Amino acid sequence: MKHFIITLILLSLVLSTSSCLIVAPEVPSPSPPPETTTNHAPVSPIDTSWSPPPIEHTSTILPSIADVVENVYPSVVTISTEVVTSGFFGPQTQEGAGSGWIISNDGKIVTNNHVVEGAEKVTIELADGRTFQASPDNVRRDPLTDLAIIKIDAKDIPAANLGDSRQLRVGDWVIALGNPLGRGLRAKEGTVSGLKVSLSVGQGQTLNDLVETSAAINPGNSGGPLVNMRGQVVGITSAKISGVGVEGMGYAISIKTALPIIEQLITKGYVTRPWLGVTLYTVDEYVATVNRLPVDKGVVIIHVAQDSPADKAGLKELDVITYFKDTEVTTAEELLQLLHSSQVGEKVKITLVRGNDTKTTYASLIQSPPPNK
């Protein structure tokens, strides 16, 4: 009897323990959300008759980039240059590479001024592999617009077709052809990302009416053509912005701006502009301190050509021009833009600071003389 009672107690403990392990606690039912008591009006439809627009299953097929390149490629050239410079150990020869394109089939080639500037030897290689040596006497340059013409002794070479850069739109496809890194002719596609862009490329020099493109531009591309999808030249590749975090910002001189300069380089040998006869430099605090100038803002004259309009107007070296034609000027670039927008024969008002005095004089602009070779 005692054994039976002990067995019953142990069985009861086992059942009690088991029930604690396997029985899940009861989860209370969630309470219903409280009723909304706001008094907002019921939501009404915007337009019960509206239906989604149809999905277009066709799209415009772009012209083949390969076909465009194939048409333009024969008119593109690579340019190799040699420039002799003075070094610590004597004269040294520096080699350079650039691009160009044929504008007429009798051997006239367009490129950038900075590609051939100072070169004593210029070698042109056509797309078909033929090479020509261009004499420095057959190179015509315009540093202000960074354009140049090279004449080689060749006949019946394929000239490129020109397009109207005024018809370009942001987003249009374009192709840059040239000689990147001196590795031979290459083509790279992109789009027009900006129009009528101005870019400062040096002291007192700004390139205007540029076409900005996302097409990859590298050293050696300079002077090569930027073409539209019809294979027409709409720009001359000239510059790029480089730096950490900067991508896809290359620039080409529009054919609209370049063509009048090209025409003068070919027909006259140089570009005529209104001429004052001074060499200018932008004044800042450093320039003012070093040269003991009376002001730290304006444009300082560092050279006056003999018998030039500036010379006849009484301008002198270290005069600081502050106003040109009653417009304030703080950089050489601003003054040159005003000068080049003037007319040959125009009498212009110039305000300057000399020592402790502010003076006003007038100069009659003349046509710029031919550049020295």
Per DSSP, the residues of 228-247 read -TTSEEEEEEEEE--STT--
Which of 240, 267, 294 terminates a domain? The answer is 267
Q: Are residues 200 and 250 in the same domain?
A: yes
Domain co-membership, 166 together with 143:
no
Instruction: Mean pLDDT check: name the lowest of 69-78, 217-226, 308-317.
Output: 217-226
Q: Is the pLDDT of residue 15 over 50?
A: no
Question: What local confidence, expressed as pLDDT, does residue 238 receive?
Answer: 87
Assign 39 a pLDDT band (cuts: 50, 70, 90): low
Q: For residues 11 and 332, which has the higher predicted lDDT (pLDDT)?
A: 332
Tokens read off for 110: 């367009």
pLDDT tens digits, residue range 230-288? 999 999 998 765 544 555 688 999 999 999 999 999 999 999 999 999 999 999 999 99
The residues, any chain, with a CB within 8 Å of residue 219's CB and separated by 6 or more, are 97, 180, 181
> Is 41 domain-assigned?
no
**Long-range Cβ contact pairs of 332-339 (< 8 A, separation 24 or more):** 332/203, 332/204, 332/280, 332/281, 332/282, 332/299, 333/200, 333/203, 333/204, 333/205, 333/206, 333/282, 334/299, 335/280, 335/299, 336/144, 336/204, 336/205, 336/280, 337/206, 339/273, 339/274, 339/276, 339/365
Say if residue 303's pLDDT is above 90: yes
In a shared domain, residues 165 and 243? yes
Residues 140, 177, single domain; the answer is no
Burial 41-51 (b: 16+ CB within 10 A, else e): eeeeeeeeeee
- Considering the domain architecture, whether residues 100 and 168 belong to the same structural domain is answered as no
Report the candidate in 6, 225, 252, 281 with the shortest Cα–Cα distance to residue 99.
Answer: 225
Q: Which domain holds residue 139?
A: 66-84+95-151
Helices and strands in the chain, H and E counts: 7, 22
Rg (C-alpha) for the chain, rounded Å, is 37
- Six-digit token string for 310: 């500036």
Selecting among 222, 238, 254, 308, the annotated active-site residue is 222
> What percentage of the chain exceeds 90 in pLDDT?
65
- Confidence band for 17, pLDDT divided at 50, 70 and 90: very low
**Same-domain check for residues 284 and 357:** yes
Residue that is last in its domain, among 151, 179, 198: 151
Residue type at position 145: T
Of 216, 239, 267, the residue at which a domain comes to its end is 267
Q: Which of 80, 114, 238, 254 is catalytic?
A: 114
One domain, residues 214 and 290: no
Q: Quick one: 242 and 309 in the same domain?
A: no
44 is catalytic: no
Q: What's the distance, CA 157 to chain centroid? A: 30
**Which run of H or E residues covers position 70?**
helix 65-72
Pairing of the two strands 274-275 and 147-151: unpaired
Residue 352 within a domain: yes
Q: Is 135 a catalytic residue?
A: no
Lowest-confidence region among 104-118, 137-151, 190-204: 190-204
332 and 302 co-located in one domain: yes
* Rounded average pLDDT over 135-159: 93
Q: Which of 211, 107, 101, 216 is nearest to 161 (CA)?
A: 101
Asked, for residue 175, whether it belongs to a domain, the answer is yes
Q: Look at residue 59 and tell me if it is in a domain.
A: no
**Interior angle at CA 57, CA 56 and CA 60, nearest 5:** 85
Domain CATH code at residue 114 = 2.40.10.10
Per-residue model confidence (pLDDT) at position 12? 46
pLDDT for 100: 96
Of the candidates 295, 299, 293, which has an alpha carbon nearest to the alpha carbon of residue 333? 299
Q: Which two tokens stand for residue 265?
A: 């380089």
Q: What is the pLDDT of residue 132?
A: 96
Q: Is 172 a catalytic residue?
A: no
Confidence of residue 33 (pLDDT cuts 50, 70, 90): low
pLDDT-wise least confident of 35-39, 248-252, 319-323: 35-39
> What is residue 55's predicted lDDT score, i.e. its pLDDT?
85
Instruction: Decide which of 36 and 11 is more confident.
Output: 36
Give the pLDDT of residue 200. 77
Q: How much is the average pLDDT of 196-208?
A: 76
Asked, for residue 318, whether it belongs to a domain, the answer is: yes
Residue 1 has pLDDT above 60, yes or no: no
319: domain CATH number?
2.30.42.10
262 shares its domain with 178: yes
171 and 262 inside one domain: yes
Domain co-membership, 223 together with 241:
yes
Q: What is the mean pLDDT of residues 329-358?
A: 93
Q: Poorest-confidence range of 5-19, 173-187, 220-234?
A: 5-19
Q: Determine which one of 75, 80, 142, 146 is catalytic.
A: 146
> For residue 50, is it within any domain?
no
How many structural domains comprise the chain?
Answer: 3
Q: Tell whether 102 is covered by a domain.
A: yes
| Mean pLDDT on 308-318 | 96
321's tokens: 């021009």
Query: Is residue 26, in this structure, part of any structural domain at all?
Result: no
